[in-house]
Amino acid sequence: MKIAIYPGSFDPVTNGHKDIIDRASRVFDKVIVSVLENPRKQPLFSIGERVEMLKMIVTSYPNVEVDSFEGLLIDYAKQKNSSIVVKGLRAMSDFEFEFQMALINRKLDSRLETMFMMTNNRFSFLSSSIVKEIGIYGGDISELVPCEVYNIIMRKLREES
Ligand code: PNS
């Protein structure tokens, strides 16, 4: 069984993430979307909120699970019996960082393959930071985030503004 991990911050999940989840679910037997608990980052949404939002958008995918993890991705992948990491790539600007992460992860665990999915060009400009920036200043993010979580995201952004 081919189990892929799709790790990320998902602070918050966007339509770009959802597109990768949708496509990965058709390539792999099982996809585990996992939110990184990073004590060094100051996320807007708590781990619980990010996991809940992801769960809301994957209800129609029987082979997609949502989880969270802390520590090294290689250790988490081992624990989940997975040797595949899926990442989305938008522009060349993502490439350098993702290339470094993929190589370091393979150095730490030679079994681990990182597979990149090119973003759908409709989402190449999209990021969680852009969504937060637009939403906090009252811009329309309804076409940037999954409709199931739009209200939750807007509520939080209004509290912040
Ligand atoms: O959505 P993001 O912030 O680009 O996701 C980054 C993530 C979670 C994929 C990355 O930070 C990660 O894999 N962290 C786990 C820690 C780890 O394994 N580090 C070693 C490789 S750099």
Q: Does the residue 100 lie in any domain?
A: yes
Q: What is the arithmetic mean of pLDDT over 129-134?
A: 95
Q: For residue 57, what are the domain limits? A: 3-124
pLDDT band at 67; cut points 50, 70, 90: very high
Query: How many Å lie between the centroid of ligand 1 and the Cα of residue 7?
Result: 7
From the candidates 17, 18, 30, 87, give the one annotated as an active-site residue: 17
pLDDT score recorded for residue 41:
83
pLDDT band at 86; cut points 50, 70, 90: very high
pLDDT band at 92; cut points 50, 70, 90: confident
pLDDT score recorded for residue 14:
98
For ligand 1, what atom is nearest to the CA of residue 76? Answer: 18
124 given a catalytic annotation: no
Q: Does the residue 83 lie in any domain?
A: yes
pLDDT score recorded for residue 139:
94
What's the domain count of the chain?
A: 1
Ligand 1 pocket, mutate which of 5, 6, 9 (most atoms under 8 A from CB):
9
pLDDT score recorded for residue 101:
96
| pTM greater than 0.75 (yes/no) | yes
Q: Does the residue 34 lie in any domain?
A: yes
101 lines ligand 1 (CB under 6 A): yes
Q: How far is 27 from 9, CA to CA, in rounded Å?
A: 22
What string of DSSP letters covers 43-111? -SS-HHHHHHHHHHHSTT-TTEEEEEE-S-HHHHHHHTT--EEEEEE-SHHHHHHHHHHHHHHHHH-TT
Say yes or no to pLDDT of 91 above 90: no
Q: Does the residue 140 lie in any domain?
A: no
Distance, CA of 69 to chain centre: 13
What CATH number did the domain enclosing 115 receive?
3.40.50.620
Say yes or no to pLDDT of 161 above 90: no
Report the nearest-CA residue for atom 1 of ligand 1: 8
